A and B are shown apart, each in its own frame.
Chain A
Amino acid sequence: MKGGSKSTSLGRVPYDLRMAKQVERRMMADAFQLLRHGFPISEYCYFGFGSNYFVDFILFHKFLGLRDMVSVEHSEANESRVTFNQPFDFVDIKIGSVSKFLPDLDPDKQYIVWLDYDCRVSSSVLADIITCCGRLGGGSIFVVTVDVALKDSEAAVELHDAMRRELSPYFEPSWKPREFTPTKFSRTNVSILEKAITAGLSARRAVSYHNLFNFRYADGHEMITVGGMIGGPREQQSLASCPLHHAPYLRRSLSEAEYVIQVPLLTRKERLFLEKQMPEAKRSGIRATGVPRDEVLAYCEVYRFLPSYAELLL
């Protein structure tokens, strides 16, 4: 689906080459791997927006063994292309707005739902989140990504007004235009998403939301991802039994600062040199000639999840 955008992909970076996005996907896959200690993740149904590339679908099938998958494609014009690119026979492709398919989510099943929009938060995005969270069964994982990039010309005052109109009941009355300035905008978006998740769960008794992800990254465009598990006391207990402390990129509470995915641009030689010293060597001891220190540290954080790209002459 990729939001409501009608523009073509010409001039954009291909989905599968977006480094930070790929790191995010692989961190999520890594987290799901850890969740396997308490949850039958490979039996889950993955509900996402595969677009033409299905990168997340391929990853989750190959890494985690999921084989019940639904991909929603927003654009009817793109139907034949998406169907052509369907990576596995079991991926069920649905054409139409995601809201049309949310009623199909079975409250008795467990899902990983990733509403990976490439648009900004809007009232329909919030409605999707709220209806999703009102519906997903215990143990399900709900993840949402939205665009938080500001346009150069955008004034905080106007943005504040526009968002207040668009999101009205989920807009905190105390928010001032300063919450819509470049430094605060992503944080404000996290609060909006959190409100929607809470609103979706508000009427449910036995379950609550346990946050796992709060990413911010930019492959050209700044994006945030918020996600976690919906579950009751039993799921909470299982969650506690998973070795999540191995995953420094997780955020168990949305009041913590987000995890910023930073991808340093290193040469192949530098990467190999650094990797040879990992993970035993203390970070402080790692060196690579000429690479700035902060890039080395950033690399230490993401190297397990960073794809390597090379040209193949086919």
Chain B
Amino acid sequence: MIQIAKTEPTKRFFLDMLVRDISLEDAVLDLVDNAIDAYFRSYDIDVKDFVLRASPQKSRRKAKIDIAFSDKEFSVTDNCGGIKFDDAKEVVFRFGRVARDVPSVLSVYGIGLKRALFKIGNDIRVESQTKDDGFLLAFKAREWMDNDDWGIPIEETAGAGTLAKSGTKITIRQIHPEVQTRIRDGRVASKLTADIATTYAMFLDAFVELTINGTAVEPSELPIGSSKFITPASEEFSIDGVDVKVLCGVAERSEDEEWVTERAGWYVLCNGRVVVYADKTEMTEWGTGLLPRYASKYRGFFGVAFFFSKNPEALPWTTTKRGLNHESPAYQGALLRMVTLARPVIRYLNDMYSMDEVAEAEEQREIAQTVEKGSIRLVLQQPASGFVVAEARKAAAPSKVSVQFMAMRQDIDRARRCLGRRWSASRIGKHALAYFLEKECP
């Protein structure tokens, strides 16, 4: 006899389990995503166009997002246009996506906002106003859990009247003790600042102003290097409705004119949001045979892949947006293109640190010395190209090769008896070559 096994989710699964997969910082980033999403929606902005082609448009109102927190209260306030009452009532607070959906850019799986709220605290209040209407939703997570009903009371409120005044405010009180501990530890603000600076690098420079406890966050721009001798490789293509743009070249050098391992590697962005930062793992094919295992000689490597889609589910991010879904068809398809563009760069870096052909290595190093901080937005405007390192310098001077070898001390001493006591070993070596060339190579 067939009976039915129960599969309904429990509220506890959402409240206590799912939150373990995400860090406090990433939960806050989910709230920021929510605000940026509202901004794209309300101002009808095409994200691909904006990230790839736009120079910041001065006429457009900037999104303003303020994050404030203490161990008593956590809040995110934005002027991003708000969420419509009907969307909030029917879609936004559902767990998982539903057939009727609100167009979005950064919200993917219908889990981020709720998980973030539950992660941070118990007393949750979301108020939002669009131009035309608004809502207030306030509840206590624990009470909701103990209740059999899945719904949360929501109150329709008046609209803000203008788009400029519309926005959302999320306030969380009764912060969970473990989150309080993190906040009291005093490092959350700086970690959050760093995470936001990298994650929203392509947004913060152009149209998002974000503050954390009143301090503005500056973008940590993608570290592409620029040199008049080097042209980065770039390519644009589409896979199953996902538009991809790949750029690959050398990284910018730090203030003491060195490439740094921390910033080297692949960057992957989904709809403009950085998902993977300076990756040097198998996820981006390092050490799989297609690219070599990462070694410090590759610290000049910089590659970035932008993925765009109007259907964010087609993008290769995981639910925490901190990792890549390796099985995503779009990512699988792009990966080989990324590798193809990367290999000439790897070859260039290999040559630079090559052991046997020192002349070439020196020339490459000279070119490396010309690398300065580049602008990703400028590079994005350039047409598709392969990776080119100018060969202009080659013709300039006869190239030199360094010759080194070990000799027996007694042989050098013998040569000194003939040539002079003060002759250095290196001078004797040079002399020997000159002598050979004169006598044997007319």
Inter-chain contact B336/A130, CB cutoff 8 Å = yes
B333: contacting residue among A103, A126, A203, CB under 8 A: A203
B235 at the interface (CB under 8 A from A): yes
Mark interface residues in A93-120 (1 if CB within 8 Å of B CB, else 0): 0001101111110010000000000000
Inter-chain contact B336/A205, CB cutoff 8 Å = no
A21 at the interface (CB under 8 A from B): no
Known contacts: A100-B347, A104-B386, A203-B335. The answer to whether A167 contacts B340 by CB under 8 A is no
A127: contacting residue among B290, B329, B341, CB under 8 A: B290
What residues on A are CB-neighbors of B332 within 8 Å? 202-203
Inter-chain contact A134/B336, CB cutoff 8 Å = yes
Inter-chain contact B347/A99, CB cutoff 8 Å = yes
Inter-chain contact A100/B240, CB cutoff 8 Å = no
- B372 shortest CB reach to chain A, Å: 24
We find that the number of chain A residues with CB closer than 8 angstroms to chain B is 25
Residue of A nearest to B235 (CB): A103
- A127 shortest CB reach to chain B, Å: 5
Inter-chain contact A205/B240, CB cutoff 8 Å = yes
Report, as a range, how many residues of chain B touch the other chain: 20 to 34
Mark interface residues in A23-41 (1 if CB within 8 Å of B CB, else 0): 0000000000000000000
Inter-chain contact B337/A135, CB cutoff 8 Å = yes
**Total CB contacts across the A-B interface at under 8 A:** 62
B416 at the interface (CB under 8 A from A): no
What residues on A are CB-neighbors of B235 within 8 Å? 103
B233 at the interface (CB under 8 A from A): yes
What residues on B are CB-neighbors of A131 within 8 Å? 290, 336, 339-340, 343
Mark interface residues in B370-389 (1 if CB within 8 Å of A CB, else 0): 00000000000000001100
What residues on B are CB-neighbors of A101 within 8 Å? 386
Inter-chain contact A103/B341, CB cutoff 8 Å = yes
Inter-chain contact B289/A100, CB cutoff 8 Å = no
What residues on B are CB-neighbors of A97 within 8 Å? 344, 347
- B342 shortest CB reach to chain A, Å: 9
A200 at the interface (CB under 8 A from B): yes
**In whole angstroms, what is the CA distance A100 to B347 when docked?**
8
Contact surface of B with A, Cβ cutoff 8 Å? 233, 235, 237, 240, 288-291, 329, 332-333, 335-337, 339-341, 343-344, 347, 386-387
Contact surface of A with B, Cβ cutoff 8 Å? 96-97, 99-104, 107, 123, 126-127, 130-131, 134-135, 167-170, 200, 202-205
Q: A99-B344, A135-B336, A170-B289 are in contact. List 12 more A-B contacts (CB 8 A).
A: A99-B343, A103-B340, A126-B289, A126-B290, A127-B339, A127-B343, A131-B290, A131-B336, A134-B340, A135-B340, A168-B289, A204-B333
7 A-B interface contacts by CB (under 8 A): A100-B347, A103-B340, A127-B339, A130-B336, A131-B336, A135-B336, A205-B329
